[in-house]
C-alpha cells in the first residue's frame, strides 16, 4: 500500500508552497500534517457508523491562515526551545547567549522565526508514517550550534505517536514540543470547559505575570491546579486563585511523576464518550487552556476560535530551564542525541 500523494495546502506570502500529508491505519484516526512547522492540521477520529469521523484538533484552514496574525502555534512543533526564556538570554559554558525576543523582552517558542514558521523537508513517507527534517543553522534566532531536527509521526491503531530527535555540532540548548490543541467535542464546537482533565503531577511551577517561573515546584494541593483526579476545566479556568486570574486560565508547567515513557494526562469529554490519554518521556507538561484565543482565528471548519476553544497539553522541558537548570536539563552537546516521545492514545 502506497502513501497518498501530498496535497497543496496553499502559498505563503513569501511564495513558499505548503503541502499536506495524510496518515492513517486500519480502524484508526486520519492525521493530516503540514510540512510548514511539522504541523498537525487535523485529526479525525473514526465514528461508529464508518463516516468521516470527528476532527478533534484545532487548525488553520489554509496556508494564508497559518501566516496571518494572531500567532497561536496551532498544531506546530515549536523550538528551538519551547515555552519562555527570560530576558531573551542565558549563559552557556561561561558566555552569555543573546536571543531574538518575541514576547516583550522574553523569547517564546524559539523566537519570532521559530521552527513553526519553517518548511520542513520530507525524509520518508508511508501510509501510516511521515518523517520530516529541519536544519537550524548556527546563530538561528541567537541559538548556538547547527541543529538537525527530525519529527516522525506514526498512526498505529487508535494511537498517534510523535518522536522528536535533534543533534548539534556545538553546545546549545534544546527543548522541542508539540503545540496541538485538543477539543474532543469536535474542532470549532465551542469551549473545552465541559472536558475533564487529569494530570499525573503533584507539583507545578508558579509563574509571574509574564508566565515565567517564580521559583521551584510548588504543591498542587489546595489550588485549582490540583488535577490529580478528574476535574472539570471550566471550574478550574475560572477560579479566583491568583495564579489562574493572572494567566486568564491555566498556563502552567506541571512537574510530572516518574521518569521514562509514562501516562501524563487524561482528557475526557463525557457528552461524546471520547477520551485521550497522553504519554510522554518528558519531565514537564505545559497545560494551556487557550486563554489568548479571542475569535480572531477561523478554524478548519469555518468557525472562529474563542477563548478556551482548545486545550494544549505540551510535553517539554520546563520553561526558562536555560536560566534555571535545576528545573530540567536543557543542554545538548555534540555526540549526544536529544529525544522526546509523545503518544496520544484515543478511546471512545
Residue pair 287/256 in contact by the 8 Å Cβ criterion:
no
> And the C-alpha cell for 26?
486500519
User: Per-residue pLDDT for 212 more than 80?
Assistant: yes
Q: Which of 179, 195, 255, 269 is catalytic?
A: 179
List 103's β-bridge partners, or say none: 106
Tell me the C-alpha distance between 59 and 40, whole Å.
Answer: 7
In the annotation, is 336 catalytic?
no
Q: What is the pTM of this model?
A: 0.97
Q: Read off the pLDDT of residues 7-18 as tens digits, 9 standing for 90 and up.
A: 999 999 999 999
Mean pLDDT (whole number) for 217-235 = 98
Q: Which of 71, 152, 314, 343 is catalytic?
A: 314
Q: What is the DSSP string of 132-184?
A: EEEEE-TTGGG--S-EEEEEEEEEETTEEEEEEEEEESS-EE-B-EE--EE-T
In the annotation, is 179 catalytic?
yes
| Nearest alpha-carbon partner for 317 in 82, 97, 111 | 82
pLDDT band at 4 (very low <50, low <70, confident <90, very high): confident
Instruction: Quote the distance between the C-alpha of residue 231 and its chain's center.
Output: 21
Instruction: Say what the pLDDT of residue 1 is.
Output: 61
Structural domains in the chain, CATH included, are: 7-347 (2.70.98.10)
Q: Pairing between strand 17-24 and 7-11?
A: antiparallel
Q: What are phi and psi of 162, to 5 degrees?
A: -125, 120
Q: What is the DSSP string of 265-319?
A: EEEEETTTTEEEEEEESSSEEEEE--TT--S-SB-TTS-B--TTS-EEEEEESPT
Amino acid at each position: 500500500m502506497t502513501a497518498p500523494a501530498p496535497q497543496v495546502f496553499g502559498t505563503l506570502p513569501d511564495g513558499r508552497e505548503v503541502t499536506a500529508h495524510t496518515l492513517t491505519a486500519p480502524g484508526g484516526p486520519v492525521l493530516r500534517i503540514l510540512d510548514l512547522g511539522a504541523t498537525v492540521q487535523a485529526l479525525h477520529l473514526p465514528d461508529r457508523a464508518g463516516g468521516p469521523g470527528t476532527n478533534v484538533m484545532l487548525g488553520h484552514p489554509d496556508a494564508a491562515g497559518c501566516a496571518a496574525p494572531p500567532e497561536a502555534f496551532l498544531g506546530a512543533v515549536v523550538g528551538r526551545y519551547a515555552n519562555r526564556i527570560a530576558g531573551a538570554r542565558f549563559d552557556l559554558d561561561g558566555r552569555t547567549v543573546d536571543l531574538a525576543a518575541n514576547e516583550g523582552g522574553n523569547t517564546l517558542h524559539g523566537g519570532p522565526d521559530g521552527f513553526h514558521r519553517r518548511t520542513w523537508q520530507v525524509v520518508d513517507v508511508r501510509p501510516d508514517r511521515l518523517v520530516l527534517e529541519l536544519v537550524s543553522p548556527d546563530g538561528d534566532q541567537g541559538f548556538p550550534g547547527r541543529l538537525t531536527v527530525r519529527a516522525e509521526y506514526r498512526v498505529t491503531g487508535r494511537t498517534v505517536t510523535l518522536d522528536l530527535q535533534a543533534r548539534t555540532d556545538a553546545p546549545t540548548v534544546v527543548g522541542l514540543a508539540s503545540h496541538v490543541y485538543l477539543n474532543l467535542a469536535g474542532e470549532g464546537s465551542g469551549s473545552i470547559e465541559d472536558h475533564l482533565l487529569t494530570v499525573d503531577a503533584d507539583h507545578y511551577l508558579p509563574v509571574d505575570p509574564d508566565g515565567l517561573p517564580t521559583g521551584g515546584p510548588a504543591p498542587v494541593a489546595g489550588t485549582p491546579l490540583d488535577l490529580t483526579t478528574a476535574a472539570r476545566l471550566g471550574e478550574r479556568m475560572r477560579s479566583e486563585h491568583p495564579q489562574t486570574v493572572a494567566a486568564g486560565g491555566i498556563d502552567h508547567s506541571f512537574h510530572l511523576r516518574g521518569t521514562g515513557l509514562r501516562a501524563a494526562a487524561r482528557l475526557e469529554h463525557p457528552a461524546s464518550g471520547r477520551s485521550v490519554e497522553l504519554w510522554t518521556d518528558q519531565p514537564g507538561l505545559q497545560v494551556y487552556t487557550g486563554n489568548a484565543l479571542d475569535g480572531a482565528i477561523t478554524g478548519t471548519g469555518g468557525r472562529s476560535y474563542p477563548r478556551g476553544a482548545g486545550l494544549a497539553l505540551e510535553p517539554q522541558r520546563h520553561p526558562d530551564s536555560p536560566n534555571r537548570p535545576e528545573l530540567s536539563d536543557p543542554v545538548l552537546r555534540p555526540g549526544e542525541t536529544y529525544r522526546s516521545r509523545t503518544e496520544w492514545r484515543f478511546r471512545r
